[in-house]
Amino acid sequence: MRALVIAEHRNNNLKNSTLSAITFAKSVANSFDILLLSNDVSILSGKLAKFGAETVHTIESDEFENYLAQNYASSTAEVAEELDFDIVITPATTTGKDFMPRVAAKLEAGMASDIIGTVEEDGELLFKRPVWAGSAIALTEITTDKKAVTVRVSAFDVATEVNTDSEIKEFSLEEDLESDVEFVELIESESNRPELTDADVVVSGGRGLKSKDGFDEIMEGLADSLNAAIGASRAAVDAEYCSNDLQVGQTGKIVAPKLYIAVAISGAIQHLAGMKDSKTIVAINKDDEAPIFEVADYGLVADAFTVVPQLIDMIKKG
């Protein structure tokens, strides 16, 4: 099986989600290539060449300065068809979930999303994916010759560099990129903190913090002391304590940091689906029967407004 991994990047920085997709590609394919779509491929092509791909294919165009699903899908499908790849792989991020179904449609390929692993039964490769908020695992077989998958980033380690560099080749599209969608504007919040899905430490707050002021006071102080990213439960987002781009859970972002601290989060199954693969989970909640304690490695039954400031002081003192 030959695999094609689509590189995900932002502001000319390679995202760790790509490296997790590479790890998955190595586990299922005899060989894999990488496709880089960018308005300046020189910045990232050399870095991508260090992760064991046979070839890094590049397409450079001003149309890739801003992401549009149509441009990504048409380019990816043409490369996969022309170079005869068996499986196309991208991370199950907001971007990957957006354009990969279009790729599958163009290739007339079966697709499986949010893959967390594979098994082989009777000579057939089956893809493992969580269902019912992660309470069960489905085994999915893709019966088409070409396959398209998105992979859950938290389920795979970040790939490491290898000693030999891949060949870098420019791919020429047969047709110019055209889209019936116009990019208007990207509005994003600015932060000096690590990105939520890439951070080693994540601290998340819930509705138990009672207000936006309470959320900011507790979570910002804790995050600053640990150089952590800030997350939130859906209940906190719905209560407008914070913006929805911080939501962790089934309908938010999936994270698996080295340390996850849940503050005043009860632990609804939808939230647990987004963070239960974290390496170490610490829960702080004044309700000793909160479901979050069932997945926590360490639990503290206490009022967050009392113990978190004490914890911050202890961290600062070393």
Q: Is 121 exposed, middle or buried (0-12, 13-18, 19+ CB in 10 A)?
A: exposed
Residues of the chain within CATH 3.40.50.620 domain(s) are 2-170
CATH architecture of 201-317: 3-Layer(aba) Sandwich (3.40)
pLDDT at residue 188 is higher than 90: no
Q: How far is CA 47 from the centre of its chain?
A: 20
pLDDT-based confidence at 177, cuts 50/70/90?
confident
The angle, 0 to 180 degrees and rounded to 10, between the axes of the packed helices 94-107 and 69-82 is 50
* 61: amino acid identity, one letter: S
Residues of the chain within CATH 3.40.50.1220 domain(s) are 201-317
Binning the chain into helix, strand and coil, the percentages to the nearest 5 are: 30, 30, 40
pTM, full prediction: 0.87
* 311: amino acid identity, one letter: L
CA-wise closest residue to 127 among 143, 146, 140: 140
* Mean pLDDT taken over the chain: 94
pLDDT at residue 189 is higher than 90: no
CATH superfamily of the 2-170 domain: HUPs (3.40.50.620)
- Residue owning tokens 């309700």: 287
Mean pLDDT, range 94-109, rounded to an integer: 97
Say what the pLDDT of residue 289 is: 95
Say what the pLDDT of residue 4 is: 98
Say what the pLDDT of residue 6 is: 98
* 224: amino acid identity, one letter: D
pLDDT at residue 135 is higher than 90: no
β-pairing, 110-115 vs 147-151, is parallel
Taking the C-alpha atoms of residue 281 and residue 7, their distance in angstroms, rounded to an integer, is 30
Say what the pLDDT of residue 269 is: 93
Contact 100, 150 (CB under 8 A): yes
Contact 129, 116 (CB under 8 A): yes
pLDDT-based confidence at 291, cuts 50/70/90?
very high
